[in-house]
Amino acid sequence: MSDPTAPDPIPEDAARTALAKRGERLTTLSFAVSIFGALALAVVYWRGGQPQLEGIFLCLALGGLGVGMIVWARYFMPHGTDVEARHQIESTEEEIDAFREEFERGEHILTRRSLLVRMGTAAVAALGVALIFPIRSLGPRPGKGFKSTPYRKGIRLVTDDGTLIKADDVSVDGVITAFPEGHTDAADASTLLIRPNEPVQARPGRESWTPGNLVAYSKLCTHVGCPVGLYQAGVHLLLCPCHQSTFDVLDGARPIFGPAARSLPQLPIEVDGEGYIVARGDFSGPTGPGFWDRDR
Amino acid sequence: MTTTSPARRQKRDKLLTRRAARWLDARLGGAKYARTALGKVFPDHWSFLLGELALYAFVVLLATGVYLTFFFHPGNQIVTYHGSYAPLHGVQMSEAYRSAVELSFDVRAGLVMRQIHHWAALLFVASIVVHLMRIFFTGAFRRPREVNWMIGVLLLILAIFNGFAGYSLLDDQLSGTGLRIAYSITLSIPLAGTWLASLLFGGEFPGPDIIDRLYVIHILLLPAVIALLIGIHLFLVVRHKHTQFGGMGRTEENVVGEAVWPSFAFKSLGLMMLVAAVLAALGGLAQINPIWLYGPFDPAEVSSASQPDWYMGWLDGSLRLFPPLEIRAFGFEVPAPFFPGALLAGITFGLLFAWPSLEALFTGDRRVHHLLDRPRDRPVRTSLGVATLSFYTVLTLAASNDVIATTFGLSVNAVLLTFRALVIVLPPIAALVTYRLCNELQARDIAGGYVPPDRPRVRWELLRFWRWRAMRRASRAPSTAG
């Protein structure tokens, strides 16, 4: 505690000394800057607002006040001289014993009716369990939706604005982002249609999935589901801009670099009589990132 | 105090504020406690300002945040933009994104408030982290302050989470990508992942409800919890009284510094004004999160150079560095992002929570400490801390591996491999260098006549936890024999 009768660090009669004068000048100046900033801010706002000026004047208004207060404290208030004693935080043994006695007296009254205690506990527990159930309302049961997309046999592929895609629309080295017709908002079904300038080495059983060397992969990275947006046509690599996973388009979109551990699922496609690209079924596996029962 | 004449006191007590205070005291009491509060002593050391910095950043967050809620609508209906930012004219977007753009261009002072809010969030987490470092390296978490340490760690977690929730509300391309990654990490949790993701997002990504839910969490739930925890944190600071460095008459039995009234109150409020002033200048002059350039979120699109806010960088970096390792057995799988995402976060905060107990276990020092350690006097703790910092710094830098590669014309692969090596090699080197440095500095102090405090022996043998039972038996043996 500071001693209130102790003299101020700068006695009254020395108030005219250079030091005090300087402190007073600085503080006054700071508060003046603050007043100017606040008024200027009001004017700027009144005249329609301007973000940079608003920032500057708000800074002056607040900063002037802050500097003024700190300078005031430094020049005219005591510092570093106050001492406070610490007291023991822990309770004494007597206090603890007194508490224990009081508590156990009440506890004894309660536990004499052991049936009531047990039933009361059970009732609270049952209520607790019952109150967990409404959490279930927060979302649907994670079912098949996690593993399948709207793609079915015969569904045509469209661009994000719903335009049907013809096989001829994808040039050599070209990439188009496609969706199943009628489902352009299905986030798990975004598809990359690519026509590499070298033949795709089809996986066993997928030989007929690449009509005219046109190949369709899920656009969702198998790492954490970012769209695999960058196609480097010269080296036939797909790169995910989020975490740099890299997939080899010619070799079943196998991950060759970065944190992704799985190939991009492939979409079986064919070209119908009118030249439109059509899905022959769903992707070769669940799209996007992995999860616990993906393989089940 | 005793020199005031009764007449003068009577005259003063006629002032309205005094009369109001008397009125309240007559109904609540408490003049005694208020006087104690005025006399609370704060040690005078720059590093004690760090926590205040966090507090004042929070005050700025509340003030600007309340303003923002008056204009922001977290809806997910698709609307068409017709505001004053021409490049987005006619673009389809969610209501949330549109109101964030309108808030920036069509609400007077809206952009300044939004940018101050974002800068304040960055400062809030940053000052919590630096404050935590100060507490750690000086041993201020030791008995009796372990509970307050844990509250502080909880505040750090909530601050990070609320920051993430906040910038995810705007539904721009960058934040949508961040939400997508958060969804995938939730999904990666063994057993419960799909349920958790579905319940949190209200269904499959992007989820119909996530923006609404994050909004309530961001503006109501977490601010309330954070404010409450800050209250308890400060109450405990008063209850325990401050720690202080030793020397110059400072002992375990006293606190030396400045009383709240008036010196400390003035300086601290001045600091609050300065924090707000710096944030105002940043908000006005330094553009941050220009969502109008990112465009509205489209799940099928992504921009390169997607970096999260700095305090999420360590998680993003670890996602980039972790090798493609996924565990599959019995038809189940633990996907790769689980380890660098959910598991790393769990271990990080788990260790932070446990640190006071761990240190007490390994040093056997369970005494009350009010005097702080100088980091050099505790070389083991200091070097472990520096090693940990270097680990998370590498992870944070690794979140920018693509930017580093393009800026310096390097291959992304080479940068990634370098970071993978650094994250393993750098922490032990940092620990060794720090350990040597601490010892040299202390030796120099001792040569200058300084008497260091007792250094508790670290019981490294406890690391062999499978021998704990045998050790306990061995330590009991002499007493039973005697």
* Confidence label for B153 from pLDDT (cuts 50, 70 and 90): very high
B183/A73 touch (CB, cutoff 8 Å), yes or no: no
Cβ-contact B70, B285 below 8 angstroms = no
Nearest to B277 among A5, A66, A81 (CB): A66
Query: Averaged over B117-143, what is the pLDDT?
Result: 98
Average pLDDT over residues B100-105: 96
**Is residue B478, in this structure, part of any structural domain at all?**
yes
Single-letter amino acid code for the residue at B393: T
User: B1 in a domain, yes or no?
Assistant: yes
Kindly report, residue by residue over B258-269, the tens digit of the pLDDT.
899 888 999 999
Distance between A51 CA and the closest CA of chain B, angstroms: 5
A35 to chain B, any CB pair closer than 8 A? The answer is no
Q: Do B465 and B416 lie in a common domain?
A: yes
Subunit contact B302:A56, Cβ cutoff 8 A: no
For A46-102, write each residue's pLDDT tens digit.
999 999 999 999 999 999 999 999 999 999 888 767 899 998 999 999 999 999 999
Of B289, B306, B323, which marks where a domain is finished? B306
Alpha-carbon distances of A205 from A266, A268, B117, rounded to whole Å:
12, 11, 56
Expressed as residue numbers, the domain containing B107 is 45-306
What's B132's domain CATH number?
1.20.810.10
> Does any domain span residue B340?
no
Domain boundary among B246, B281, B306: B306
Are residues B248 and B106 part of one domain? yes
Residue B125 and residue B186 share a domain: yes
Q: Are B174 and B160 in contact (CB under 8 A)?
A: no
Minimal Cα distance from B104: which residue of A?
A51
User: Is A145 in CB contact (< 8 Å) with chain B?
Assistant: yes
pLDDT digits (tens, 9 = 90+) for B401-418: 999 999 999 999 999 999
Cβ–Cβ under 8 Å, residues B212 and A139: no
Name chain A contacts of B275, Cβ cutoff 8 Å. 66
Could you give the CA distance from residue A291 to residue B194 in angstroms, rounded to a whole number? 7
Spatial strand order of the sheet with A277-280 comes to A215-218, A191-194, A175-180, A153-158, A277-280, A269-271
Residues A36, A106 contacting (CB under 8 angstroms): no
Distance CA B14, CA A191 (A): 79
Residue B364 covered by a domain: no
Domains and CATH numbers, chain A: 12-76 (no CATH), 146-280 (2.102.10.10)
- Beta-carbon contacts of A265 under 8 Å, excluding residues fewer than 6 positions away, are A217, A218, A222, A283, A284, A285, A286, A287
pLDDT-derived band at A143 (thresholds 50, 70, 90) equals confident
Whether B266 sits inside 8 A of A70 (CB atoms) is yes
Number of domains in chain B: 3
Among the candidates B277, B306, B335, a domain finishes at B306
The reply to whether residue A72 touches residue B266, judged by beta carbons under 8 angstroms, is yes
Give the mean pLDDT of B31-60: 93
Q: Is B409 helix (H, G, I), strand (E, B) or coil?
A: coil
Residues of A in contact with B413 (CB under 8 A): 257
**Residues of B in Cβ contact (< 8 Å) with A245:** 324
Provide the pLDDT for residue A80: 67
- A236 touches B: beta carbon within 8 Å: no
Statement to judge: residues B17 and B99 lie in one domain: no
Instruction: Mark which residues 333-352 of B lie under 8 Å from A by CB.
Output: 333-337, 340-341
Tell which A residues from 255 to 294 touch B, by Cβ distance under 8 Å: 255, 257-262, 288-294
Lowest mean pLDDT of A6-20, A193-207, B439-453, name the range. A6-20
Tell me whether residue B360 is in a domain. no
Other C-beta atoms lying within 10 Å of the C-beta of residue A116: 11
SS3 B223: helix
Q: Residue A145: its pLDDT value, please? A: 76
Nearest residue on chain B to A73, alpha-carbon basis: B263
Contact B266 A223 (CB under 8 A): no
Q: B441 exposed, middle or buried (CB, 10 Å; 0-12, 13-18, 19+)?
A: middle
Whether B347 is in a domain gets the answer no
Cβ pair B326:A261 closer than 8 A? yes
Q: Which residue of chain B comes nearest to A143, CA vs CA?
A: B194
Residue B312 lies in a domain: no
Look at residue A203 and tell me whether its pLDDT is greater than 50.
yes
Task: Report how far residue B182's alpha carbon sits from residue B204's, in angstroms, rounded to the nearest whole number.
Answer: 13
Are B403 and B302 found together in one domain? no
B108 touches chain A (CB under 8 A): yes
Same domain, B84 and B2: no
> Any residues with CB less than 8 A from the CB of A199 and at least 6 apart, and which?
A213, A250
Give the Cα separation of A141 and A284 in Å (integer).
23
- Residue among A269, A267, A270, A268 at smallest CA distance from A287: A267
Task: Judge if the upstream peptide bond of residue A286 is cis by omega within 30 degrees of 0.
Answer: no
pLDDT band at A3, cuts 50/70/90? very low
In a domain? residue B279: yes
DSSP helix/strand/coil, B332: strand
- Per-residue three-class SS string for A242-288: CCCCEEEHHHCCEEEECCCCCCCCECCEEECCCCEEEEECCCCCCCC
**Same structural domain, B389 and B301:** no
Give chain A positions within 8 Å (CB) of B282: 55
Q: How far is CA B363 from CA B8, B223, B287, B356, B367, in A?
A: 60, 37, 48, 11, 11
Q: Are residues B57 and B110 in the same domain?
A: yes
Nearest to B212 by CA among B182, B178, B171: B171
Region B34-47: what's the mean pLDDT? 90
Is B324 touching A (CB cutoff 8 A)?
Answer: yes
User: What is the number of alpha carbons within 13 Å of residue A105 lying toward its C-beta?
Assistant: 5
Q: Which residues of B touch A223 (CB under 8 A)?
A: 184, 319, 336-337
Per-residue pLDDT at B481 exceeds 50: no
**B76 or B218, greater pLDDT:** B218
B55 & B19 share domain: no
Secondary structure of residue B255 in the 3-state scheme: strand
- Pair (B20, B104) in one structural domain: no
In a shared domain, residues B73 and B172: yes
Interface of B with A in 364-383 (CB under 8 A): 368, 370
Query: How much of chain A exceeds pLDDT 90, in percent?
Result: 80
Q: Do B108 and B175 belong together in one domain?
A: yes
Could you check whether the bond before residue B87 is cis, i.e. omega within 30 degrees of 0?
no
